[in-house]
Structure 1
């Protein structure tokens, strides 16, 4: 069920994860929980946080296990005692609101050879990633965890990549050829059935509530539209149009799957 996100204050930098170029880190917050923190001053900047927020909350709405997402406030003085200059620069560039995901202590990375996923769940994940145009759920980097014997989806920051240039974003049949690399594609034999269910769940009202969560400060440095609300409307339009035309990306995924099996 959709819920308003909590806001926490980061109190301790625990350790960097050093994955890719984004340098996420495990931090502790003032609620005494640990979070994987995604910094707005890293790599793709606030766009990765927006994709993480939208992708994660859509996944949660569709019934997937997703770590709790919170807004994480980083004080301007936080990085002054950090000895690593690269991390110090990252912390300084990320003052203000960032994004945290509840740290799943003891979880293990999903291995498709070690954990069996049935056709229903595989189809659900592939449909979600086709909608979001998530390029980062591959054999190389599955971005799924197994925690308490359940599959958890993480790291949607590489989704919605159209917003890095805002080119062709109004095209409801925008192709997504990268679906051919999806780690679960070969098992996703129920895409049509899942599409009917998921399309009915993702109403315009629910999509609107999710995109309304995007903070103004993640949008103010953009130059495509004039105001934050116009960006939120654009994200909602993209998602609603793609959902309404889901037959297109379902067929695209099915064609890619036929080439594999």
Structure 2
């Protein structure tokens, strides 16, 4: 199954080529737009804006794969009803085969945007950034897989995914801080797919940095690390955010498996009755 999925990815030349060019091109363009950001308060704001755009772009740009997953679902239901393989085998193979492909896309995007924009020059910080990009792409892929198992067609799926992603971005902490979100909406902040990578980007960029962002009366009024403390982001949250992102991946993959299992069981039951 893994081999078959790999061949399907490379056979879909338009999607594979367009996705590759899209990631490389957008990385270069973003890097040139945000070229060599300054180490001041304005530069910090621009970095935050860059991170917010990266999240929006990456989490919403995988919807084009929805028709492929919908087509695979129909094939899966036919083949599992005939006993060719189990749904669990499909779910595992589908989850594994996209990892190297998404890693390639993450590298193509991360290298130009990171170094052209002049983000944290520490190489370990770059690797952390690359890891976050990879996880963002894999999370988005998992969300599309989940909803492709749930929705009846592409039109409904596109609308639902767009609405969900928009809601998650609204409660990410970029537009309105956690402290200002009404208590009856705070749960959306914690289940937002944007919250944890966004915090991860900020921590990776500004933690353990004594660079002064703003001067006044001959002294430093705000450092990069002080900016993080003001938003209550700490170094301890760096790996916690990674773990939570992985948990989201597993959650959406498990939900997808359960839905597909129910669909296939229902189809097998109808076939047996017929």
TM-score, shorter chain, exceeding 0.5: no
Q: Which has the higher helix share?
A: 2
Name which structure has the greater RCO, CA cutoff 8 Å, separation 6+.
2
TM-score w.r.t. the length of structure 2 is 0.29
Larger radius of gyration: 2
TM-score under structure 1 normalisation?
0.30
**Greater share of residues in strand:** 1
